[in-house]
Amino acid sequence: MQALNEMYVDIKPIFNTYSFQLKKNWKKLVFFIALSVVFVLLLSYLPFVLIPDNPLPPTQADYFQQGFMFLTFILIFAVCFFFGGIICSEYSYKTGHIVFPIINKYKLVLGKFLGNLTMVYVVTGVFYLTLGFLGMYYYGGPLNIRFFYSLGVSFLYVLAISSFVTLFSSFMKNVNMTIIACIMIFLIVLRMVDMLVILIEPDFEPVYSLDHISKLISYILEQDFPTEIVDRYTDGGGNGGMPGPDWAVRRWLTPSIETGIIVMLSYTVICLGIAMVLFKRKQL
């Protein structure tokens, strides 16, 4: 009984912080839920209602892939807004200067992380629920099992980018700057780095890239998922109409399922580990 009481005392601050995060950010949660539903309706419902001659994709899986067009953008913005201040806000409020701490700082961060992660998972789940309902409406049931595989990959992707943003939040002191910097990194910097790497070394698959890993969310819906590396990229070329030889461009379509899972879990462990080390050093 004493052991259970001690465990309860240890867990209670985490649960209280978790509950507080849900209450604190419920308006933000409602906004991103509404945003995800609006995007699904705009891409996967209205085009077929307003344009009668617009044909449906041939299969349910193709329909879902089309609906995932802006999913990663929604997840990136949601993660950046929910996790941008997860640690750096503690610097702003100077909680490290509390002489008699009411709650252990690591329990505080863990409760905030789990609370924010739950809310982003809810946003992701609502997106899939809405798209899945429309998929059954147009094509009938049941849902393709790979639809749920994609949901699992999305959860892992959210976990990976949440850890990445948490790492940035650990060494930046301004919440808004953390949000802006992370959005710029996800949407611009990482893609530019990928382009340069592919131009320099086209045979090297950018498995380090969270942008490349995110493509697994859509491609895992393929019934004949490309298992061989030569099937996971396409080669193109051209010189833009300018005189001179053509130059080759390689486009990597998706990582393998095993690689994608390993990379996302690696990002989670490494980023959170470094974030906690930096948080501890700054607290000291």
Cα–Cα distances in angstroms (integers) from residue 112 to residues 25, 175, 278, in the given order: 11, 15, 17
Q: By percentage, how much of the chain surpasses pLDDT 90? A: 44
HEC states along 125-145? HHHHHHHHHHHHHHHCCCCCH
pLDDT tens string 73-110: 999 999 999 998 888 776 655 554 444 456 677 888 88
Backbone angles phi, psi at 205, to 5 degrees: -75, 130
Which range, of 98-112, 196-210, 215-229, averages the lowest pLDDT? 98-112
Distance between CA atoms of 232 and 24, rounded to whole angstroms? 43
**Among the listed residues 65, 255, 79, 250, the one whose alpha carbon sits nearest the alpha carbon of residue 160:** 79
**Predicted local distance difference test score (pLDDT) of residue 54:** 81
Distance between CA atoms of 153 and 217, rounded to whole angstroms? 6
Tokens of 268: 């989670």
**Predicted local distance difference test score (pLDDT) of residue 14:** 84
Q: Give the global pTM.
A: 0.89
Backbone angles phi, psi at 238, to 5 degrees: 150, 170
The answer, yes or no, to whether residue 242 has pLDDT greater than 50, is no
pLDDT tens string 141-161: 788 889 999 999 999 999 999
Burial degree of 211 (CB within 10 A; 0-12, 13-18, 19+): middle
Tokens of 100: 């008699």
